Amino acid sequence: MPKEDLFEFEPLADEKVKDDDLFSLDDFSSAPEITEKQISLEKENSFPDDEKIHLKQPKRTSANFEPDMEMILITAQSSMIIEAMKLFSQHDFKSKNTSIFAEAVKGIDLYIKLLQRNPENFHKIMSMLSGDPDCMDVQKISFNLYKNIYGEFPDSDSQRLKSFEILRDKVQTGYYKSLISSSLINIKKFYLLTGSLDSIKINQMLTSNPDILKKEIDCYSRHIAIARELIKSGDYEINKGMKGREINVFIIKASQLLSYYFSKIGDTERSNIYQRLNDNFRKYFIMK
């Protein structure tokens, strides 16, 4: 049974912790050089070691436009992936970092789509970007994650694809945690300083802005589902040392709000579902 003060809102901690060695960008001496095979595929497209990435402006055709754009997108997104992994290793899932994690997920999806669609073109692009440290670090991080699970570095394209999928799952988890942090802050507007539900404000919004309120309710409903999936996964700690307390508080507050809302619009079935969820999480600090 949680203590009574479990249900009071508290600011999310800003505590920093040491980087997880798994995601450290300082030492990749054990990882194989991804560019060794790639450079052999297209030596004529590689850049000198002392030259920054710089593309001459060719005439745009359907043959060369897409690869060039893919290089630009990968270069831009890779820095976001690196930033997201730094935040992940520092256990920094504050609400302000939601957009960084979201962009990082998009960036990893780009790597995955390129490799799935045309492995040869993927290797060509990676060899051309061999002088970009962020792009190389993204691959090295994903390969280290793969080795941590399977005991060896990926060698085939299917294994490399799996390594990027593992990286995406990590960053996606960071995004979900940051999303819950954001919702835990935003939902405060529906509560009084005492911690009680602000029924007067909710009733006013039901009359004056029902569509806006419905969008917010739908959002909290999705985030409750995400929070419960995080609990099932076993990786649900948002602030270091809090053991998932924020997840528990969010589900309690959001389910209480949703139960009240659905009772007011006459949806008794959904109101009862969220009330039972609220009762369960109030009585027990549920963890996996």
Summarize pLDDT for 252-264 with one digit per residue, the tens. 999 999 999 999 9
Q: What is the mean pLDDT of the chain?
A: 80
Q: CB neighbours of 59 closer than 8 A, spacing ≥ 6?
A: none
For the whole model, what pTM was predicted? 0.74
3-state secondary structure string across 59-124:
CCCHHHHHHHHHHHHHHHHHHHHHHHHHHHHCCCCCHHHHHHHHHHHHHHHHHHHHHHHCHHHHHH
3 CB burial (10 A radius; 0-12, 13-18, 19+): exposed
Compute how many other C-beta atoms are within 10 angstroms of the C-beta atom of residue 10: 13
Q: Where are the domains of the chain?
A: 21-44+56-176, 191-283
pLDDT digits (tens, 9 = 90+) for 150-168: 999 999 999 999 999 999 9
Cα–Cα distance for residue pair 98/186, rounded to 1 Å:
13
Interval 28-51 mean pLDDT: 38
pLDDT digits (tens, 9 = 90+) for 83-114: 999 999 999 999 999 999 999 999 999 999 99
Cα–Cα distance for residue pair 141/48, rounded to 1 Å:
24
Rounded to 5°, angle at Cα 69 from 65 and 75: 150
Interval 58-85 mean pLDDT: 72
Selection from 172, 193, 165, 173 nearest residue 247 by Cα: 173
Q: Count Cβ neighbours within 10 Å for each residue of 141-158 and write b for 16 or more, e otherwise.
A: bbbbbbbeeeeebbeeee
pLDDT for residue 211: 96
More confident residue, 38 or 238: 238
As a whole-number percent, the residues of the chain with pLDDT over 70 amount to 75
pLDDT digits (tens, 9 = 90+) for 165-212: 999 999 999 999 999 999 999 999 999 999 999 999 999 999 999 999
